Amino acid sequence: MIKFIRPLLLVLLAILIIIQFFPIDKNNPEINPQQDFLKATNADSKMAGLIKTACYDCHSHTTEYPWYTNVQPIAWWIKDHINNGNKKLNFSTWTTYDAKKKAHKLEECVEVLEDKEMPMLSYMVAHREAWINEQQRQELADWFKELRMEN
């Protein structure tokens, strides 16, 4: 049994080294500030700060990639989260959504905040600044509700 452990570890190490040559694309698409959610909604500084720190890394074209996104397979996993986040909701392209889609996205924002699905725990663990307390979570959910009523 021990005979197989060393070759297996060497193969795993070789694979780990080889996959480092397949980095993720860290280029953010160009942003049109006129399409941004915070500008379109005239968010006050408090709400804008909460949304930027808790949401924008995965739900906009302003992702900031930390050092560990240079390490595979972690980077692939994170990039997948970012891609999925942008597919579900992209604050950088907010004004391109029609009224019905905006209302639906705002409703989803309320739901994921109230159900504590967002921000994701894995994100908050790596980004301490993204932790939001219960009061902040409720304020943000209430603000999204107000926006939905206005639209």
Are 144 and 110 within 8 A, CB to CB? yes
The CA distance from 111 to 135, in Å, is 16
The answer to whether residues 96 and 40 touch, using CB atoms and an 8 Å cutoff, is: no
CA distance 140 to 114: 10
Q: What is the pLDDT along the chain (151 residues), one digit of tens a residue?
A: 678 898 999 999 999 999 999 999 999 999 999 999 999 999 999 999 999 999 999 999 999 999 999 999 999 999 999 999 999 999 999 999 999 999 999 999 999 999 999 998 888 888 888 899 999 999 999 999 999 988 7
> pTM for the whole thing?
0.87
